[in-house]
Structure 1
């Protein structure tokens, strides 16, 4: 279906909804690389104005990737909840934006609406929003998940303790874990990116993490971020695996490049549930995404990278995950060139995921060859704290020595919790208080005698 808009007697034509969505996106280097970006600012504004007039129902009738050739499209269409969609079914995209910003769209209403929204709908409306709009609406969305603690409550900000080591040395990993715990990090998950994906190696790391959690009765969960097929092998061996991890994308071809499909994810999800390791809940999946992953795999199917990213959230939503993390600046400047683009992309991802009903975290990060620095990350971290982000990363010194990129530190987490009055997950907070790591006011206290925790690395 063709779309058009006229500015100063010049009519801009957009042949398909896919083209319109791409041209309406705020500029980023990845879309320019893919050849789908607007030619100039005028064309982008014309596309945004045309997109504002598109009825939301059109997104159910015109797929950005054909239903017959893509299983993610089939998932989106086949799982759409018409009853949940009904209250907004008469809106155009522009009217939907205005409604989302109104007081009528409160947390309860948005939670009920989530199953009725498709990724393309939320991607489209995000393209019409300023950063403050994305923050305002995302802040209203509360997505709560449970495993051994409760994540996503209002007034809370959790942290993934990321103790990566270039050789997976157990003492090096343990030292980082102790460091993070003593700064109040680790309630989202203690998650290791392994240097190798071998089942025996991953099993050793899982056993070490489980021993720490069980020995000190820490109300959190662990994860070694191996491939889903490795997790399946370990589940069959009854390894102490809490969460199944997998990187996912928004097209069937992207997921094929990751060595996965929906059936494999379903198998892993079902297998993880049989372990029954959660004490408070059974959200057993952990997914990571990132704008540019489909383009980098030459699997974007002509769709802009932000819409591809939103489609990945449909894959995540199917499996009721405990955590979803957009690793926003990790792929590099070819996709998000500088701090401005990274900040915009992170706010879009967080908004879209939350509106679709997902427990969104953000790895506030950049690669060393991007036009960004830690001041940009400070700005983004603060914006995400205001927006109600479920969790961020905690890495020693904000410098991941295994993955070689810059993220957020344990100190950064303390900063944003302090300035915004945020607390850890309630069960984890009580554990920190009991251990003398945090006081009742939420401040980390100096610990003179650390021998009991430091024996972990002996």
Structure 2
């Protein structure tokens, strides 16, 4: 039992998961689940009680039972007590204060990451202002590599997302060329296939590999098919750079995706065995989203933001190149409006970075949410200031296959120019070498390489 008094009124919270849920900033998913605070006063009281909670409490009381959940077992059994020792005497409030101090620099935070649990960082995020989330995240640098290096300070990478409603190779290739012309694609060129079967996956993998190899582009490809399809593609000899999978923060939710920790480990080893990276061996790409456990009826009465943080413990286990919170994609049932989407995106980035996860964000919304592109501009700018590893790049910011709104190639250019950010170094060298963008950041579309221009024109004529 946890409790406190505020304004002369006493509040009691039955257990840790109830305290965490009541302390969470308002969002529609927690209301739908029946776990949200009923009033702002109750929420403030829960935040006060949470701030006074020792971090050690998260090692003795779990929000999802240890005996029945392999994600909980991964978190508890994998906890690094030595890394945790410097902050083991802190309360949640002490942790927030220390994170904001100059003592908590990038080196200290990197050393601390294995000692933090998802529930610890989720708790801290619940008592942070927006500026706290940005300032603390900015200190965290999680650097990964495959053919390019993602996450270095002063850099902002993009996933070039050339989706097509029928997986038409001409449409996909045209979008890829368009994105490359605007300096997009250094994090990954990644396709969500319209048809999730092995044949389609293998065809798209060859299409991506042909373009990357033909133009010697220092990036990596990914077809976001189910992990079992990608493993089968590897068996068939397909050119797999990264293996993708959506993941969640409970065993039951992951089972609804058709995965387990053992399956992810098998996929990780299979992808590593191909040895296709040139500057690194981070070969996994994971996507997450607040509300995924609730939508699968696998939330155990835990708030969606805490469960989202637990998904990052799953990701961390397999040393991914990229982790992407698809923040507004699941819909207004979980994040109702622009304000909730903005807060959630900043929380996800904060929690992932503190756990040592290479966080990106699909800054997005569905058309039935109370949000618009101005909200996305705000989240894009805030995440850019916070040091996000990568964002999405989509033609016109409108995904015509998945039917949602996200960030465009132009949006990535805006963020890089306004915030003084640059692409991944290997990709930047390539852009300079082929005449697309100078190393001083100057964008020169008139100097596009003849091969790319010819390919673009042939695609348009064929269409």
Query: 2:431 matched to which residue of 1?
Result: 432
- Secondary structure, aligned partner of 2:83: helix
Task: Note the C-alpha offset of 1:278.
Answer: 0.4
Matched, 1:243 2:242: yes
List per-residue Cα deviations over 1:303-331 (Å, max 9, x = no partner): 00000000000000000000000000000
Q: TM-score, normalised by structure 2?
A: 0.98
Aligned equivalents of 1:114, 1:411: Cα separation in 2: 34
Contact persistence 1:151–1:188 (CA under 8 A): yes
List per-residue Cα deviations over 1:341-379 (Å, max 9, x = no partner): 000000000000000001000000000000000000001
Query: 1:71 matched to which residue of 2?
Result: 70
Change in Cα spacing, 1:449 to 1:384, as seen in structure 2 (3 Å) is closer
Task: Note the C-alpha offset of 1:450.
Answer: 5.5
Aligned length: 457
Task: Note the C-alpha offset of 1:454.
Answer: 3.7
- Secondary structure, aligned partner of 2:205: helix
Task: Note the C-alpha offset of 1:444.
Answer: 1.4
Q: How does 1:152-163 map to 2 (within 5 A)?
A: 152-163=151-162
List per-residue Cα deviations over 1:118-142 (Å, max 9, x = no partner): 0000000000000000000000000
Q: How does 1:268-417 map to 2 (within 5 A)?
A: 268-417=267-416
CA RMSD of aligned residues (A): 0.8
Structure 1 unmatched runs, 5+: none
Contact persistence 1:328–1:346 (CA under 8 A): yes
Query: 1:103 matched to which residue of 2?
Result: 102
Query: 1:147 matched to which residue of 2?
Result: 146
Task: Note the C-alpha offset of 1:196.
Answer: 0.7
Query: 1:253 matched to which residue of 2?
Result: 252
Contact persistence 1:212–1:456 (CA under 8 A): no
List per-residue Cα deviations over 1:373-420 (Å, max 9, x = no partner): 000000100000000000000000000000000000000000000001
Contact persistence 1:286–1:321 (CA under 8 A): yes
Query: 2:164 matched to which residue of 1?
Result: 165
Between 1:363-372 and 1:3-12, the stretch displaced more is: 3-12
Query: 1:124 matched to which residue of 2?
Result: 123
Q: TM-score, normalised by structure 1?
A: 0.99
Contact persistence 2:181–2:448 (CA under 8 A): no
Aligned equivalents of 1:8, 1:330: Cα separation in 2: 38
Aligned equivalents of 2:420, 2:86: Cα separation in 1: 35
Q: How does 1:133-212 map to 2 (within 5 A)?
A: 133-212=132-211
Structure 2 unmatched runs, 5+: 459-463
Aligned equivalents of 1:25, 1:354: Cα separation in 2: 19
Task: Note the C-alpha offset of 1:10.
Answer: 1.5
Contact persistence 1:398–1:406 (CA under 8 A): yes
